[in-house]
Structure 1
Amino acid sequence: MGVSLYYTARRATPLTGAELAAVGQAADSSNAGAPFSREEEGLYLYDRLEQGTVLDGSTKLPAADERAVPSLVHWLAAVTALRRAVPDADWTFTLDDYEIEWDDHTGYRLPGLDD
């Protein structure tokens, strides 16, 4: 059974052209620089969005323990970059059902991962 990250940004106004470009660049850069990128899923942004949702996506983490932590650290930074590209939205970011907290200075992090 796999573990996944889920990320959603909601607001009343759609993404601007500059925001779309920044989101695309963040996603492309993160996917290109991902650990184990050939074998694992990257940032997957959904095409079909509910009304009021401007960004929605998921990333499945690798099942192998030795690959899960480096991948998780990488994807936390990637979703931090997405959020910084669309800062004025209402964001939800979870590791399955566990909500990952946002910090304005460090972005998304989980305790103990950087140790």
Structure 2
Amino acid sequence: MSVSLYYSAGRALPLTGAETAAVGAVLAARGSSFPFQDEEGLHLYDGGGEPDEVLDGSTRMPADPGRLLPVIVHVLDSVTALRRALPGARWRVHLDDLDVPWDEEDGYALPGMRDTDSGF
């Protein structure tokens, strides 16, 4: 059975040129530091989402338990960087049916998986 992390941002105004460039920079930086090149990393869809949705995507989680935690941590850190690049957007991040909470200081993390808890 496959588990995926889904992320989306919405607002009435489309992305500005500067925001589009910032999203591209996040994708490039986070893609180059992804821990497993043979696993799916941060993946944004090409439009066609909900009305007022300016960004959406998903990442399929690895089946290998030894890779799961590093991938979740990396992708949530990437989504945190995207959220900070798009101020004023309404975000929804969830691992299948489990909403991932936002923390202003630490960003996105699953409960009990903050850097100090997980060793990452």
**Could you state the TM-score of these two structures normalised by the residue count of structure 1?**
0.94
What is the match of residue 53 of structure 1?
A: 53
The residue type equivalent to 2:47 in the other structure is R
**Aligned pairs for 1:69-108 within 5 A:** 69-108=69-108
Distance 2:111 2:53 in 1: 29
Distance 2:46 2:95 in 1: 21
Shift of 1:51: 2.5
Distance 1:21 1:106 in 2: 23
Distance 2:102 2:87 in 1: 11
Please report the RMSD computed on the Cα atoms of aligned residues, expressed in angstroms: 1.0
**Aligned pairs for 1:15-54 within 5 A:** 15-36=15-36, 38-49=37-48, 50-54=50-54
- Specify every segment of 5 or more residues in structure 1 that has no aligned partner in the other structure, as ranges: none
Structure 1 SS opposite 2:15: coil
My pick for the range that moved more, 67-76 or 45-54, is 45-54
Q: How many residues align?
A: 114
Shift of 1:43: 1.1
The residue type equivalent to 2:45 in the other structure is Y
Identity score, percent: 56
**1:66 correspondence with 2:104:** no
What is the match of residue 14 of structure 1?
A: 14
Shift of 1:110: 1.5
Q: Deviations over 1:31-69 (max 9, x none)?
A: 111111x21111111112332100010011111100000
